[in-house]
Amino acid sequence: MSLYLDYLAEIESRAQQGLSPKPIDDGKLLSEIIALIQDAGSEHRAEALKFFIYNTLPGTTSAAAVKAAFLKQIILGEAIVPEITPAFSLELLSHMKGGPSVEVLLDIALGDDAAIAAQAGDVLKTQVFLYDADLFRLRDAYAAGNEVAKAVLESYAKAEFFTKLPDVEDEIKVVTFIAGEGDISTDLLSPGNQAHSRSDRELHGQCMISPEAQKQIVALKAQHPDKRVMMIAEKGTMGVGSSRMSGVNNVALWTGKQQSPYVPFVNYAPVVAGTNGISPIFATTVDVTGGIGINLKNWVKMNGPDGKPILNNDGNPVLEEKFSVETGTILKIDVKGKKLTDEAGNELVDVAAAFTPQKMEFMKAGSSYAIVFGKKLQTFAAETLGIEPTPVFAPNKEITVEGQGLTAVEKIFNRNAVGVTPGKVLHAGSDVRVKVNIVGSQDTTGLMTAQELEAMAATVISPLVDGAYQSGCHTASVWDKKAQANIPKLMSFMNNFGLITARDPKGVYHAMTDVIHKVLNDITVDDWAIIIGGDSHTRMSKGVAFGADSGTVALALATGEATMPIPQSVKVTFKGRMQPHMDFRDVVHATQAQMLKQCGDNVFQGRIIEVHIGTLLADQAFTFTDWTAEMKAKASICISDNETLIGSLEIAKARIQIMIDKGMENAAGTLKGLIAKADARIAEIRSGTKPALAPDPNAKYFAEVVVDLDVIDEPMIADPDVNNPDVSKRYTHDTIRPVSYYGGTKKVDLGFVGSCMVHKGDMKIIAQMFRNIEKAEGKVEFKAPLVVAPPTYNIVDELKAEGDWEILRKYSGFEFDDVHPKTANRTAYENMLYLERPGCNLCMGNQEKAEKGDTVLATSTRLFQGRVVEDTAEKKGESLLASTPVVVLSTILGRTPSADEYKSAVAGIDLTKFAPPKAA
């Protein structure tokens, strides 16, 4: 009974934190609990019963297997528990989702006891998480004449698992809660520095927004028991920045509905809204939980007599409030009419986009992937019975525009589409199920992905997936007790599931903490591929990649598919000539600035950026695609010329081979298979049978942006503008300023070069700058700390071989040591260079952070409040984003440089070169 006593001790410890007993996933612990239940004289029996019934995680956890086996004994009369009747046992099995529970239900349904078999069959009819082995058992039993199997398959063919669910209410009453003003990052809902607790849902829920906000929500629920709390981003977009399933989980925990009375802290159906809607990635995450995401449009631009927007002194449009959504406002969602109304029923805004037929299905089923599994289940059953499936689900919207060519993303979706009308060419707006080629899971959401896989009873990666990778980059900086407890367990699970893992559970190969996006960019060996990854920066420069929540990643791993509408595209081309003193990062920032100037609004939001970048190799082009997450784009596609694409694929092959040489290959030969696919793609390009992906000349775009390189004459900085009097303008990534704006006087407290936005060239730029300064000044001295985190170990190895690491090491006061990794995060910095372990480092905000109140200049993508640097009572922390040479020079000067100082410092240095493709 030692495990049980340990569990009681843990319960006591959690109670001191105001927490309930942690849900049980350990089968050995549950076995001890069952022994206590069977001991009529045990003082722990009553408590053990509650743990067994109400506090055991479902799916494929080892505890679920033990629970299902014991329930089977009760149903068959092999064990007697007065409080758990055979009928109640079947009910409990119905809430366990799949895996062991479905196996038990099949055992009983296909057994010899006709009465019990029929009852188990009725429960099976409600289940959707069945896999091939389960379906084949039903098929074989049906072929052998089993009547229960026939009845279950007939039910599946009619999709009764869906049709018998309650419909979505015609009207939903809500009470508003403003979570913040301006764009709301998922960091507010699920802070990066609390990533270690994401899989402990109750504990993680305590970090959402603030304790005060949580109390307000509880009070609103108490005051309005007949209404749902709608969480709002006032004057902004809800859920920008990260694809945080944990953020949606937290919102659902505080405002949603309990999914099952027998599974604690798993809620669904949150209602979220934003003045400017929901970010694309977060909207997908809301769908996973059967939630509602509303575009309020409650603030609109004021127009003058000429019909043009009135601008304030800062050149920003003046907004007027169309209707109030202040906290405590009662509103109604007219689901039938697809309108948001006030309490009296007056229409405020059309919300049809939130209630498409597909989204309504997600809401009815309680999750999007229940629908995905359900459709596959219905198709299989109908094929087995030799009948047509009953039309139940909303037909996929298939949009074809005669005479209109295809954009790059439309071509990719058409190539990978599953279940569409044969021969039909689909354009933007069509709903499509697509095959997923590459899947990435990162380490701070990986534990949740593992939970999702367990919950949907998946045990092995889908054979449709070409390759999948589990990273260790988000926890690379500090190997603390939290990481030591979580990461080995995660790597073991994912390795067994069939992924290539950054850490070897068997300890054979060296831990590879490379930034996940870099690895995914390397293992993507087809420009026609679709990639799904558990991070908003899943933005490859080959193929089209979508950042996703942990549930969508789990679904892609389990099924090899994803479902989404084909997005519209915005075409980005370039003209002019890039100045020799400019870095490509400045082109990236200028793209954002010029787009806003040309279009007025952010036309990138929610769309594909099709960037005609042809002459840059994948590593360099990734700097652009990575930034598109901050542009609020759904994804991006690089249009490369043939030779550039071949060069990128050759680099990818070499890096995949290094992974093989390190010992990272799995039993399925995934990595060798990717090299073979790369060779095949190169052969297609060289032979002319299938050139590099390009749109049709007559493709239609939502907008076209032409970036003028001639006007980019000085470094560009993305500024969080922390003191802007308009709160909604802070931390938006839209304030792009030339370095001269700061007059060479803005104090810099810390510089950071790292994260997925840099490549090998950036590391070589630092080395070149150091050599130049050393030659001119005799040595390099820092007036502010400089943290450098190379994105991959390959880069470190290459820098060492080429002699660049030597000068970096010469001026470093700290160099990472994998044999003795840091076990505690740094809380103070000296004016020196820190050579950190490859990985995300400061960009993640969950381990290393700048000192509170600092002004940080970084190559990162993150300028959200509190992410890289937190505020003090006296000063707001700010994270300004710039190119590598600007960051390095600023730490040497202790301030932002003037334009002339910058030009002088980079003279003769080989910056990232770019020229528009000749065909553009």
Structure tokens at 692: 């590099």
Cα dihedral 883, 886, 888, 893, rounded to 10, equals -160
Give yes or no for a contact between 80 and 58, defined as CB atoms under 8 angstroms apart. Answer: no
Q: Calculate what percentage of the chain has a pLDDT beyond 90.
A: 79
- What 3 state SS string does 249-264 have? HHHHHHHCEEEECCEE
Note the Cα 369 to chain centre separation in Å.
16
Condensed to tens digits (0 to 9), the pLDDT of residues 102-156 reads 999 999 999 999 999 999 999 999 999 999 899 999 999 999 999 999 999 999 9
Q: Work out the end-to-end distance of the chain between its first and last CA atoms, rounded to an integer number of angstroms.
A: 72
Q: Sheet containing 736-738: which strands, arranged edge to edge? A: 736-738, 716-718, 878-881, 855-858, 750-754, 786-789, 833-835, 812-815
Condensed to tens digits (0 to 9), the pLDDT of residues 178-227 reads 999 989 988 899 987 787 888 899 999 999 999 999 999 999 999 999 99
Residue with tokens 């820190």: 834
Residue 169: phi, psi to the nearest 5?
A: -60, 150
Instruction: Name every residue whose Cβ is closer than 8 Å to that of residue 53 and which is 6 or more positions away in sequence.
Output: 84, 92, 262
Instruction: Name every residue whose Cβ is closer than 8 Å to that of residue 683 and which is 6 or more positions away in sequence.
Output: none
Most distant CA atoms of the chain, gap in Å: 91
- Percentages of the chain per state (helix, strand, coil), in multiples of 5: 40, 20, 40
Sign (positive or negative) of CA dihedral 288, 290, 296, 297? positive
Q: CA 494, CA 470: separation in Å to the nearest integer?
A: 7
What's the one-letter identity of residue 27? G
Residue 154: phi, psi to the nearest 5?
A: -65, -40
pLDDT score, position 468: 98
Structure tokens at 148: 């229960």
Q: CA 156, CA 387: separation in Å to the nearest integer?
A: 12
The model's pTM is 0.85
Give yes or no for a contact between 202 and 20, defined as CB atoms under 8 angstroms apart. Answer: yes
CA angle 291, 56, 208 (to 5 degrees): 40
Residue 423: phi, psi to the nearest 5?
A: 80, -5
Q: CA 350, CA 352: separation in Å to the nearest integer?
A: 6
Give yes or no for a contact between 879 and 867, defined as CB atoms under 8 angstroms apart. Answer: yes
pLDDT score, position 861: 85
Q: CA 92, CA 778: separation in Å to the nearest integer?
A: 75
DSSP, collapsed to helix, strand or coil, labels residue 185 as strand
Q: Strands 467-470, 438-441: parallel, antiparallel or unpaired by DSSP?
A: parallel
Condensed to tens digits (0 to 9), the pLDDT of residues 705-722 reads 999 999 999 999 999 999
DSSP state of 129: B
Helix (H) or strand (E) holding 112: none
Give yes or no for a contact between 808 and 835, defined as CB atoms under 8 angstroms apart. Answer: yes
pLDDT score, position 243: 57
Residue 253: phi, psi to the nearest 5?
A: -60, -40
Q: Which of 522, 495, 516, 497 is nearest to 506 (CA)?
A: 495
Q: CA 754, CA 759: separation in Å to the nearest integer?
A: 8
Q: CA 661, CA 174: separation in Å to the nearest integer?
A: 57
Residue 331: phi, psi to the nearest 5?
A: -130, 165
pLDDT score, position 242: 65
* DSSP state string for 569-638: EEEEEEES---TT--HHHHHHHHHHHHHHHHSS-TTTTSEEEEEEETS-HHHHHHHHHHTTTTT-SEEEE
- For residue 267, list its beta bridge partners: 258
Q: Calculate what percentage of the chain has a pLDDT beyond 70.
A: 99
Structure tokens at 445: 């959401």
Q: CA 833, CA 73: separation in Å to the nearest integer?
A: 64
pLDDT score, position 90: 98
Residues of the chain with pLDDT under 70: 242-243, 314, 919-920
